Chain A
């Protein structure tokens, strides 16, 4: 999809003020969203999301609370399936395959598309068993020690824990726990890693480590990150999508809408939408 942004002529426009900027050219796309809408119990949480997510890039989803960033992220590996009332409409392609197609098993989807959560959620087991859990349930038991070491090295945690792999993971600090969760995720060798505000419960130093890690990880993985922290999005991501809350005429219902999606540098320095500019410059929050 090649749209020249400068012209500012939206292709689809439900409301004139919600002109949706299209992404710049993406070489290889991992996800393609066409008119995605997520409903909880029949009420929309996000509407009309159309975007393409690049392979081996960091894509950040930013926006105010309640704009549906996390909801959108959870669509991508079918975690929304776990909520009985949730419903996803529209088309979501993963490497060209319909992720919500009739023959797609959500369990297989989650093997390929891993997730790191807002609050570190290590299992109440040893550090080793936490990382080995994924390979074990997938039946990859050969060379488990090497897999665990590789994953812990990949998550920049190996040097800190190599002498206490048998200790309970609950003894680690919050930042270490989160890196353990990242190690756990890359131990199953996914294609994509989704991160739902991975640093919101961490101190600045731990946050810095995880941000460095993300930049390293994008060599191998496609990363989609939801963040409240605009500086974080600016530091780590290649592309940024800005979502905002939209209200209906009576102001009863609210849902998230994609306002702008572009190269991160452009979103933060020269956004094409006034609301993006207000948000990234801190005028509204």
Chain B
């Protein structure tokens, strides 16, 4: 190209060509892509809708059936077969509260202890530590009825031989949710960066001082969240309790070591729901509402706790 003038038309041609190429690139995507995008988004939305519909149906159905039975009697009165209009959940509520208190007493020290060992002390390059880890993951997936059988064989009878008492039920539920607590606590411990541990150790703190004063305080919100979620799971469990002696019909307030029997909310709901009379059906539905409210409150508290106190690094 010697002279600019001579090459001008050719330049113009090149500019036009480049422009049209750019235009083509910016134009709408092919029709097939648009449809595929829309279909996929629709399917995902459908999945969310199905998940929500189940919960919504449960709440609506329970409310429609149980609203007539909603009254303070539900909480203050014991169950009764003769007077369904006066019957309530008092022994079951007290039993459930004692059960989850026992679960917490057991699960907090043991669960956190196991998590601390696995995260802070165990050398994960050793095969036995990896085996323990895998097994804890597996334990969390074992069906609850199997824990019921375990509780019956080892806690109610067998080595511990506690008999059909509330404490035995508590211990069984604690074993059931223990893996959940361990897994959640490990997550919380793992979220504490190593730089904090090293900073503490470099100041001449021992490993235990480091854990007690740095690692544990920083991970307590996460651990507490895990414990609450685990306890709310224990609160809703029915199957293992039936095996370890939660009697379905108790009219007195249970005690932890009383041998006369005890009950729990889900067990009592099950009992009412089995009866054909309309009034008992309404009572069962009202009981479901009470439990849903309690569970939602517990889970919301767990979420709030996590958002409010979680340490951001």
Chain A, 250-285, contact with B by CB distance < 8 Å: what is the 0/1 string? 000000000000000000000000000000000000
Residues of A within 8 A of B214 (CB): 123
Q: List A residues 104-120 near B (Cβ within 8 Å).
A: 107-108, 110-112, 114-115, 117, 119
- Separation of A119 and B196 alpha carbons in the complex (Å): 11
Whether B204 lies near A133 (C-beta < 8 A) is no
B218 at the interface (CB under 8 A from A): yes
B312 to chain A, nearest CB (A): 8
A79:B202 contact, CB within 8 angstroms: yes
Q: Is the CB of A82 within 8 A of B203?
A: no
Residues 83-97 (chain A) with a chain B CB within 8 angstroms: 84-85
Known: A79-B198, A119-B195. A124 touches B203 (CB 8 A): no
Which candidate, A32-40, A62-70, A156-164, A181-189, is the interface stretch facing chain B? A181-189
The range of chain A's interface size is: 20 to 34
Q: Is B205 an interface residue (CB 8 A)?
A: yes
Flag if A79 contacts B199 (CB, 8 Å). Answer: no
Do B203 and A110 touch across chains, with their CB atoms under 8 A apart? yes
Give the residue of B125, B202, B311, B313 whose beta carbon is less than 8 angstroms from that of A114.
Answer: B202
Q: Is B201 an interface residue (CB 8 A)?
A: yes
B contact residues around A82 at 8 Å (CB): 198, 201
Q: Please judge, given known A-B contacts A117-B199, A121-B199, whether A134 and B213 are in contact too, CB under 8 Å.
A: no
Which B residues touch A115, using CB under 8 A?
Answer: 198, 202
**A-chain residues with CB within 8 Å of residue B202 when the two chains form the complex:** 77, 79, 110, 114-115, 117, 185
Q: Does A2 lie at the interface of the complex (its beta carbon under 8 Å from any beta carbon of B)?
A: no
CB 8 Å contact bits of B280-313 with A (1 = contact, 0 = none): 0000000000000000000000000000000101
The reply to whether B204 and A188 contact each other, CB–CB distance below 8 Å, is: yes
Q: Which of B125, B196, B201 contacts A85 (CB 8 A)?
A: B125
Total interface residues in chain B, CB < 8 Å: 20
Q: Which residue of A lies closest to B313 (CB)?
A: A124
**Interface membership of B123, Cβ < 8 A:** yes
Bound-complex Cα distance A184 to B214 (A): 14
Tell me, rounded to whole Å, the shortest Cβ–Cβ distance linking B276 to chain A.
59
B11 contacts the other chain (Cβ, under 8 Å)? no
Residues of B within 8 A of A14 (CB): none
With A and B bound together, what is the CA distance between A82 and B199 in angstroms? 12
When chains A and B are docked, how far (Å) is the Cα of A156 from the Cα of B311?
Answer: 28
**A205 in the interface (beta carbon within 8 A):** no
A249 at the interface (CB under 8 A from B): no
Instruction: Determine whether the beta carbon of B198 is less than 8 Å from that of A84.
Output: no
Q: Which residue of B lies closest to A119 (CB)?
A: B195
Central interface residue in A85, A115, A124, A181, by most chain B CB within 10 Å: A124
Return the chain B residue nearest A84 by Cβ.
Answer: B123
Contact at B203–A185, with CB atoms within 8 Å?
yes
Q: Is the CB of A110 within 8 A of B201?
A: yes
Interface residues of B in 208-227 (CB under 8 A from A): 209, 213-214, 218
Is the CB of A138 closer than 8 A to any CB of chain B?
A: yes
Question: Least Cβ distance of B279 to chain A in Å?
Answer: 56
Q: Nearest Cβ distance between residue A152 and chain B, in whole angstroms?
A: 15
Question: Is B218's CB under 8 angstroms from A111's CB?
Answer: no
Shortest Cβ distance from B205 into A: residue? A137
Is B200 close to A, CB under 8 A? yes
The reply to whether A123 and B206 form a contact with Cβ atoms under 8 Å apart is no
Q: Which residues of B contact A84 (CB under 8 A)?
A: 123, 125
| Cβ-defined partner of B204 (8 Å) among A85, A111, A121, A122 | A111
User: Which residues of B lie under 8 Å from residue A133 when comparing CB positions?
Assistant: 200, 203, 205, 213
Given contacts A110-B203, A122-B199, A134-B204, could you give 14 more A-B pairs where the C-beta distance is less than 8 Å? A110-B202, A111-B203, A114-B203, A115-B198, A119-B195, A121-B198, A123-B196, A124-B313, A137-B204, A181-B199, A184-B199, A185-B202, A185-B203, A188-B203
Q: Can you offer 11 A-B residue contacts whose CB atoms are under 8 A?
A: A108-B204, A114-B202, A114-B204, A117-B195, A117-B202, A123-B214, A124-B218, A124-B313, A137-B204, A137-B209, A185-B202
